[in-house]
Amino acid sequence: MKYPVLLPNIFDYPFTYKSSLKLKTGDYVNVPFGKKTITGVVWDQFEKNVNKKFEVKTIKKKLNIEPLKYQTVNFLNWFSEYNLVPLGMVLKLHLLRGNAFEKQKNSEYRKYQIEFHKEKFFLSDEQKKAFKELVKNDNSFRVHLLQGTTGSGKTIVYFKSIEKIIYQDQQSLILLPEIGLTGEFEKKFRNFFGFEAAVWHSKITPKKKKIIWSGLTSGEIKVVIGARSALFLPFKKLGLIVVDEEHDQSFKQDEGVIYNARDMAIVRANNENIPINLVTAVPSIETFANIKNKKYSFSRLINRYKDANLPKHHIIDLNKNKLAKKTFISFKTIEKVEAHLKKGDQILFFINRRGFAPYVLCKKCLNVFSCPNCSINLVYHKNKKQLLCHYCGYTSSLQRKCKKDHICDFVFSGPGVEKIAEEVKTLFPNQKTVIFSSDTMNKVSGKNILDKITLGEINILVGTQLISKGFHFPNLNCIVVLDIDLTSRGHDLRSAEKNLQLYHQLSGRAGRTGKSANVYFQTFNLKTELIDQITNEDPFKFLDHELELRKQNNLPPYERFISLILSSGNEKQLDQEALKLKKIITNSINEKILGPVNAPIFKINQKFRSRLLIRAKKTSKIQKKIKKILKEFKIQSGMKLTVDVDPISFN
């Protein structure tokens, strides 16, 4: 008998094999492919419109694994069509390095066995009300938003909903936006439940991944805490998905297979007919729109846990208050920080730039040091004593021959987190200071730093955006935002939304244990409207206004955007090919097509980049039309086409 078998590769269709075995959709099999034997899955349909004759090879073996559920097969099919990704590449996301794994010895799963010996947590009346709303109608698909002020105890409320699912002998998936959050989060989970959840992200060892993958197919493992890729795991009996910090743009995978994990999680929940809870202090504009049109239900936690007050916000006008000599920190700020330090408060200086300086130039020859592979400046990282490209990873030393003399005389322009840390150490020499960024916290030493911060052994933190993401610092009661003007610039249609989310999350790090806390904004901008908007205790007011602006201008979520990025090492060929692609699309569809234009970052990794943007009505089924066009479009050798449905970044 003939069977369609989907293989984890670039092809958009299953291959036909034969077998005397009785197989069904979802069975994992080993098949010959070229000179290799690889793992595939018996799929639900054969390749369409096959005219050529070919030899049908025989399936070698059926693996002793629970079949992939038809709901998951449907989800992977839908994912492929929506995101314009070859079906085989979607299966690759599901399999582990191209493999599926049979059940391990029971001893391998012992670590994840459920044994409740948890700490007691008591819910406030407001939390109890939110919990009841969270578990209402949770026997079938529905999307519920749990919105709560930072520090209001959202995590405890949704942990209670997971507890209910565990008692029903079902599995739960908790998606987090950053792998840097998992260590802190594991601790919270263990304290509440008394057992270990399985943790899934790119840094987990292949051996552990193998145990978790097989433990989910057999139903032995009940809870997974994971990054984006955990969405494709083979759950036997998934009962609930939670997307924590649902607004976070890290849920968008922007390399390789491009997709938004939050949106795809909602689709997977729909396919499984199970509830999904979105959790955040400030919802994404898409989620807020779905609340307004009553597609999603929601509940709110207005009060912070144990009635702790939100921090007060103050503006330090840099037109009136001078910066201290050779620093980016004003005398007024120094005065405020010293007062907090006397009270024993922990301080955070926030600057959303990695490294020491984003621009390095020579005073003699005026040469700005840019990446030879990308059209951006190199960032100087003083700790590593090197210039670094944050896009392609190119590194260079500062040893440069000057065009006008033997050695360059450097000027470091613009502050990065390392520069501010250096200034802070000079201004407050008796205080213990650490840098909190992806360069310092994704290492083994990161856990040790976190413990010291929590115990109050560190007085001053100098941090980037990473610090805003769900960490609990009991002693932090003073935040200084150094670059409010810089972060609000640019032409990103989401910049206002991003600022709102970032500063709500950021200010939520302070005053969590009840002490009075303050956030100070240094700014040259006398128009305080921006700060008033982003610090308003009710983010829904801002989102209402933002949604109205989007509606007036036909922007997402009222229209669908699809971005097509062509890249090539040959600039002339790229221009020709981009115009050719636009002409073909224009002749095939009625939707609006913008471009081609050079991408804002025109060159990355020695490849020039040209962008087209398709704007379409949500009801137009534009992906099907685009898929047909791209299937027939023969791209030149050495050129690459990337498709981004619902783009977040326009770089």
Across-strand partners of 467?
A: none
Q: What are phi and psi of 568, to 5 degrees?
A: -160, 155
Average pLDDT, the chain: 88
pLDDT score, position 117: 65
Across-strand partners of 544?
A: none
pLDDT score, position 490: 46
Q: What are phi and psi of 40, to 5 degrees?
A: -135, 180
How many beta carbons lie within 10 A of that of residue 552, not counting itself?
9
With the CA atoms of 382, 367, 482 and 544 taken in that order, what torsion angle do they form, in degrees rounded to the nearest 10?
A: -120
150 against 405, higher pLDDT: 150
Q: Tokens for 388, please give them.
A: 């670094």
Sheet-wide strand order for 640-645: 592-604, 607-616, 560-568, 640-645
Q: What is the mean pLDDT of residues 266-283?
A: 96
Q: What is the mean pLDDT of residues 561-570?
A: 94
pLDDT score, position 200: 93
pLDDT score, position 122: 83
Decide: 284 and 547 in contact? Cβ < 8 Å.
no
Q: Which helix (H) or strand (E) holds 66?
A: none
531 against 75, higher pLDDT: 75
* Residue 488, pLDDT above cutoff 50: no
In whole angstroms, give the CA distance from residue 538 to residue 541: 6
In whole angstroms, give the CA distance from residue 157 to residue 599: 43
Give alpha helix (H) positions in 84-175: 87-94, 125-135, 154-167
Decide: 239 and 224 in contact? Cβ < 8 Å.
no
Q: What are phi and psi of 534, to 5 degrees?
A: -80, -10
pLDDT score, position 78: 97
State whether residue 424 is helix, strand or coil.
Answer: helix
Decide: 420 and 481 in contact? Cβ < 8 Å.
no
For 591-632, write each residue's pLDDT tens digit. 999 989 999 899 999 999 999 999 999 888 899 999 999 988
CA-closest candidate to residue 482, choices 313, 316, 311, 310: 316
Q: Which domains does the chain have, with CATH numbers?
A: 2-69+81-94 (3.40.1440), 106-305 (3.40.50.300), 307-542 (3.40.50.300), 560-645 (3.30.70.600)
Q: What is the mean pLDDT of residues 53-79?
A: 93
Decide: 523 and 484 in contact? Cβ < 8 Å.
yes
Q: Which helix (H) or strand (E) holds 278?
A: strand 275-280
Q: What is the mean pLDDT of residues 299-314?
A: 80
For 629-647, write each residue's pLDDT tens digit. 998 888 888 899 999 999 9
pLDDT score, position 508: 75
CA-closest candidate to residue 154, choices 475, 499, 547, 504: 504
* Residue 491, pLDDT above cutoff 60: no
Longest dimension (CA), the chain: 84
Q: In this prediction, what percent of the chain has a pLDDT beyond 70?
A: 94
- Among 6-15, 48-57, 231-240, 255-264, the minimum mean pLDDT is found in 48-57
In whole angstroms, give the CA distance from residue 257 to residue 89: 8
CA-closest candidate to residue 430, choices 526, 492, 338: 338
Q: Tokens for 136, please give them.
A: 């209402």
pLDDT score, position 402: 77
Find out whether the peptide bond into 539 is cis, omega within 30 degrees of 0.
no
pLDDT score, position 153: 87
State whether residue 598 is helix, strand or coil.
Answer: strand
CA-closest candidate to residue 613, choices 562, 651, 650: 562
In whole angstroms, give the CA distance from residue 544 to residue 282: 12
236 band by pLDDT with thresholds 50, 70 and 90:
very high
In whole angstroms, give the CA distance from residue 443 to residue 465: 17
In whole angstroms, give the CA distance from residue 13 to residue 186: 39
* Residue 183, pLDDT above cutoff 50: yes
